[in-house]
Structure 1
Amino acid sequence: MESGTESTGLGLNRNLYPQIEPYSTGFLKVSDIHTIYWEQSGNPDGHPVVFLHGGPGGGTAPSNRRFFDPNFYRIILFDQRGAGKSTPHACLVDNTTWDLIDDIEKLRKHLEIPEWKVFGGSWGSTLALAYSQSHPDKVTGLVLRGIFLLRKKEIDWFYEGGAAAIFPDAWEPFRDLIPENERSCFIDAYGKRLNSYDMETQYAAARAWTKWEMMTAHLLPNEENIKRGDDDKFSLAFARIENHYFVNKGFFSSDSFLIDNVDKIRHINTTIVQGRYDVCCPMMSAWDLHKAWPEADFKVVPNAGHSANELGIAAELVAANEKLKYLVKNNGR
């Protein structure tokens, strides 16, 4: 099951594509409150693919474009409500999974795209599953990485002390921000501080929350990633929006909502890429999804953690996009 080499026999490229710049950018007003940033790069006449960023609240980055062949794909990136360049920054009002799904549809229609491929990692995989289950007729393929199903056991593992067994040094600053009498639920305790009337209280909680996640996202420590926890603007959106979604259980009607609705998307050509040593989104979730959906390609990277930027994971993501490119070219979709 562990995949370190290409097994499809297609001789697919596994290297990130060179950095490119967008050929168009814009802002789309999606509600009375929210406006989202979007951009397009690659081939304007190519096969459309939408990139769903993680967090929620993480925003997009220029490097996200590099997973896709710019000669073949019309690459669409956008910042979800409250994240990145979208406004208002770090806003939690009218910010739910279902609002984001509606935004994806509004953007698709705005760009006059009949259907598109969906690519998402971490929270992006959650949103990709929820979106495709809501609009299966609009999705030509799925690439999912670092599977996160937003179940209680996943939240408890990462935020209530499970992952601390592996990263006790990173956990203690996260834990110590919260007084002992509030440590029965760190999600709630952080939620209180991230919604404080005092901005410095918000920023302190946001930095601690973000650093905990950034310190655990790679198999081997990545200093550049960890430094993102020092960026107050990034941290505030990242921590506030994540916490808001987790307190609200992803706004799903049941703990197993995404698994329960796999039948709606079983027909969609899908690749699941998972790092064996992912501490943020442990492999149990990808494994549960794989068992519910054996038709999807399942790639386990034996020497990787959570981040899409780890070499083995990036290689599998590029290869998954190349495989879908090959299928589109040969099936005429």
Structure 2
Amino acid sequence: MKSKFDAISSKPFWPAPRWLARGAHRMAWRELGRADGECWLLLHGGPGGGCQPGMLKPFDLGRQRVIAPDQRGAGASRPRGSIQANHTAALVADLEALREHLGVPRWSLLAGSWGTVVALGYARQHPQRVQRLVLRGAFRLTRREIGGLLLPSARKGKALGRSDAVWPVKPGTPLAWALADLAQLLQSGTPGVASLHALRGWALREMRDAAAGLRRSLLHARGSAAAALRREWAALRRRQRRAEAGLLRPRANRSDRLLWARYRVQAHYLRHRGFVRPGALDGAVRALARQGVAVAWVHGRFDAICPPANSRRWARMGLVAGAAVSLRLPPCGHLADEPAMRAALRQCLAGPPLGPP
């Protein structure tokens, strides 16, 4: 029987997924850690992403139990890339069905980026099932966040050269039109040239904004943290160079098919603003405060994808409402794997639930 850690690499063991039937969807989920330990639900970002082994690093699997599902159409869930009956209310219902399936009375939630939207939705609907929330790099679904990623920009550090030249969204395009065009391009499972440019260009845009935060982190890091960041930076730059080199490749490969599934789901959600009504996220934060659910907000100070003002706003809102709230702003960008972010998350997960403020 495999141990929870590989003895040579010290990396968490990543098991094959199990499945939960949910109508036309099969939700993939994995369970790791100590079976009788403090139970955590791990929610990935995206939309359209998936849980990865690196997301386990903040946990102590010797004393914590981690449930890691892939959302509809994402990761190992099937059908891959499906947008049928795929909306935020369905994701919340899937999580509650998984909790019932596992017989977990209450669990805590660790969520990042888009996952914070799903976490807030779940906690608002099922507060009695939530011990506490740790929310990283909170996403507010604003025009600034979505447009900053997808709309062309002449601003220094935002231009992508050859990628911008083939990016299907042209300067001056309204955001709603851009999202509709991208969603249409990614409908077919056998993408043409324009679709390949769209999904490859989308990946490059995400890497560009992740690199912006990582670069600023490097300016403030010292000692071993700086060395670890330089390795992260070098790895990200290698991925960027490979992506740039393959931008105009005429044929799709396996990597393109995975990107298609990811960005098809993401375009679907962003086009509908996450299927979240205006003001609903603010309402969820206030409701959780009234219900006494503790929330730890953790946001990279140099996050170039989701602005730190998101977490500041919601932490302040929770405090005003009398919630048990903490706010950490580590010197890092959006990536969960940056050393300062990992350290901040470990502190949150290791500590007991917050008491009254």
TM-score normalised by L of structure 1: 0.84
SS in 1 for 2:329: strand
Q: Which runs of 5+ in 1 are unaligned?
A: 1-16
How far the C-alpha of 1:148 sits from its partner, in A, is: 0.2
Q: Does residue 114 of the first structure (1) align with residue 137 of the second (2)?
A: no
Which residue does the alignment assign to 1:259? 282
- The 1:141/1:181 distance shift into structure 2, 3 A limit, reads closer
Which residue does the alignment assign to 1:248? 272
Matches for 1:1-333 after TM superposition, within 5 Å: 18-21=10-13, 25-31=17-23, 33-161=24-152, 165=155, 167-170=157-160, 173-174=163-164, 176-178=166-168, 180=170, 183-185=173-175, 186-196=178-188, 199-200=191-192, 201-218=194-211, 219-220=214-215, 221=233, 222-223=236-237, 226=240, 231-254=255-278, 256-266=279-289, 267-294=292-319, 295-302=324-331, 304-324=332-352, 327=353
Give percent identity, aligned residues only. 29
Instruction: State the distance in 1 between where 2:52 and 2:207 align.
Output: 15
2:287 aligned partner, one-letter code: K
Which residue does the alignment assign to 2:229? none
Contact conserved, 2:149 with 2:205, CA < 8 A, in 1? no
Instruction: Identify which of structures 1 and 2 has the higher relative contact order when contacts are C-alpha pairs closer than 8 Å and 6+ apart.
Output: 1
How far the C-alpha of 1:103 sits from its partner, in A, is: 0.5
The CA deviation string for residues 220-260 of structure 1, in whole angstroms up to 9 with x for no partner, is 34236646897213311221111111100111121x21112
SS in 1 for 2:299: strand
Query: How many residues were matched structurally?
Result: 307
SS in 2 for 1:242: helix
1:112 aligned partner, one-letter code: G
Instruction: State the distance in 2 between where 1:202 and 1:44 align.
Output: 44
Contact conserved, 1:59 with 1:80, CA < 8 A, in 2? yes
SS in 1 for 2:141: coil
Contact conserved, 1:58 with 1:234, CA < 8 A, in 2? no
How far the C-alpha of 1:217 sits from its partner, in A, is: 1.6
- The 1:79/1:136 distance shift into structure 2, 3 A limit, reads same
SS in 1 for 2:61: coil
Q: Which runs of 5+ in 2 are unaligned?
A: 1-8, 216-232, 247-254
Instruction: State the distance in 2 between where 1:214 and 1:179 align.
Output: 18
Contact conserved, 2:17 with 2:76, CA < 8 A, in 1? no
Contact conserved, 1:174 with 1:212, CA < 8 A, in 2? no
How far the C-alpha of 1:182 sits from its partner, in A, is: 7.6
The CA deviation string for residues 259-298 of structure 1, in whole angstroms up to 9 with x for no partner, is 1222221121221111111111111212221221234110
Instruction: State the distance in 2 between where 1:77 and 1:197 align.
Output: 27
The CA deviation string for residues 11-41 of structure 1, in whole angstroms up to 9 with x for no partner, is xxxxxx942225784111111x100111111
Instruction: State the distance in 2 between where 1:42 and 1:174 align.
Output: 44
Which residue does the alignment assign to 2:223? none
SS in 2 for 1:293: helix
1:205 aligned partner, one-letter code: A
The CA deviation string for residues 77-125 of structure 1, in whole angstroms up to 9 with x for no partner, is 1111111111001111111011100110111111111110001000011
- The 1:75/1:197 distance shift into structure 2, 3 A limit, reads closer
Instruction: State the distance in 2 between where 1:239 and 1:293 align.
Output: 33
Which of the two has higher C-alpha Rg? 2
How far the C-alpha of 1:139 sits from its partner, in A, is: 0.6
